[in-house]
Amino acid sequence: MYDVIVLFDGYSENTEMGSCANCSCVLLKGKDNIIVDTLTPWDGEKLQQKLWNNDINCEDIKYVVCTHGHSDHTGCNYLFSNAKLIVGFSISSRDLYFDHDFAGGKPYIINEFVKVIPTPGHTLEDVSVIVETKDRGLVAITGDLFEKEQDLSDDSLWKSVGSGHDDMQQENRNKILKQVDWIVPGHGPMFKVPDHYK
């Protein structure tokens, strides 16, 4: 079983200069240490410090999962030299790229507690991480499939930042809501899934 440690809560807001956003960054501490979404390239020092606070060095991370390829979700991948990278549908280690049929719906099993599943919609190659935890049941780290908790009642929050494949995204949102207890969305704090979705 795993501990889900949200290192940084994601956020997004509109400003006069444009939208200001960074992603939720999550440490999954357990059998294989995993980090999900790695902020922007300007966040390396603070990310490293946060990991040290949790008794983890960058070299201890076995997998880096980026829920999709946008720059605010992939920026510090360079810190994790011992990790296998899963960036959207692409799996690699150094210069080696592995075949995996995410496009055909196949989950990628990291171990008996953690899997990565295809959940396209925000981009056509989004993935989500599903993890069994010690104290919260099943948790999904979804990236921008969910923008923040408030988008459960206000569709415009996720539709306005998506790629226009709203039907596909809605379908994958429903699938996640049915199966998990908690969600870490791309740009807001972790929230509990309301019971009526079950």
Q: Point out which residues bind Zn ion (CB under 5 A).
A: 144, 186
Closer by beta carbon to Zn ion, 40 or else 111: 40
- 129-160 per-residue burial string, b: 16 or more CB within 10 A, e: under 16: bbbbbeebeebbbbbbbbbbbebbeeeebbee
Q: Name the minimum Å distance from CB 111 to Zn ion.
A: 26
Q: How far is the C-alpha of 84 from the C-alpha of 145, rounded, in Å?
A: 23
The β-bridge partners of 5 are 27
Q: How far is the C-alpha of 33 from the C-alpha of 15, rounded, in Å?
A: 36
Q: Name the minimum Å distance from CB 157 to Zn ion.
A: 12
Closer by beta carbon to Zn ion, 30 or else 158: 158
Closer by beta carbon to Zn ion, 120 or else 186: 186
Q: Name the minimum Å distance from CB 138 to Zn ion.
A: 23
125, two tokens: 């190659």
Q: Is the distance from CB of 129 to CB of 34 less than 8 angstroms? A: yes
Closer by beta carbon to Zn ion, 23 or else 117: 23
Closer by beta carbon to Zn ion, 56 or else 190: 190
Kindly provide the residue ranges of all beta strands, DSSP E only, lying in 16-137, ordered along the sequence. 18-22, 25-29, 34-36, 63-66, 84-87, 90-93, 96-98, 108-111, 114-118, 127-132
Q: Name the minimum Å distance from CB 55 to Zn ion.
A: 28
Q: Name the minimum Å distance from CB 72 to Zn ion.
A: 5
